[in-house]
Amino acid sequence: MRGLAGPAALSSYMNHSPDSIQLRPKRDDDRSFLAMLYASTRQQEMDMIDWTDEQKRAFLQWQFDAQTAHYDQQYGGADFLIIEQKGVPIGRLYVDRREDEIEVIDIALLPECRGGGLGSRLLQEVLGEAEQSGRRVMIYVENFNPARRLYDRLGFQHVDTNGVYHIMKWPAISA
């Protein structure tokens, strides 16, 4: 596994954190957890739709399968990491490193793990790697995604729009 800021730097940092956070490569047996995690990120949208629970489950599974296939096809060399706390999966962090840029493909935590600073800590590690290596960091984020406030606080700046996604980059691009 490639690490952030050198071999296994993020994993090393996270392994020594007080809340026992570790990162590991995703495995085939993570698929059901990842599908459930994906569904949790879409719950607010699903609550507004007048579909049966079965229709919602089928739609979310279809969307998860499509996203997974896209990520696998477009980001073959990326790090697809499972975030664990005390050996239990609680999230995912997908990162693609390029010569001049690091793309945070996806970061997601279980609902009960959101808002406690873990996502911020993980992203700050990515930003530290980028700063040390002289690269920018890019992330796509939907406008209504509550994490957008986090990206703003960390200094990401909106640079373009692609469909429903805002393309944000760090460090902020000066005018």
Residue 62 has phi, psi (to 5 degrees) of -60, -45
- Does position 175 have pLDDT exceeding 50, yes or no? no
The SS3 assignment for 52 reads coil
- Does position 12 have pLDDT exceeding 70, yes or no? no
Q: What share of the chain is helix, strand, coil (3-state, %, to 5)?
A: 40, 30, 30
Domains of the chain with bracketed CATH:
9-170 (3.40.630.30)
- Does position 5 have pLDDT exceeding 60, yes or no? no
Q: What pLDDT score was predicted for residue 13? A: 41
| Global pTM value | 0.86
Residue 147 has phi, psi (to 5 degrees) of -70, -15
- Does position 9 have pLDDT exceeding 50, yes or no? no
- Does position 73 have pLDDT exceeding 70, yes or no? yes
Q: Is 117 left (phi over 0), alpha (psi -120 to 50) or beta?
A: left
Q: Which residues contact 93 (CB under 8 A, 6 or more apart)?
A: 23, 79, 81, 83, 104, 106, 107, 122
Which token pair is 126? Answer: 């990515």
Query: Model confidence at 125, in pLDDT bands (50, 70, 90)?
Result: very high
Pairwise CA distance, residues 95 & 79, whole Å: 5
For residues 54-70, give the mean pLDDT.
97
- Does position 93 have pLDDT exceeding 90, yes or no? yes
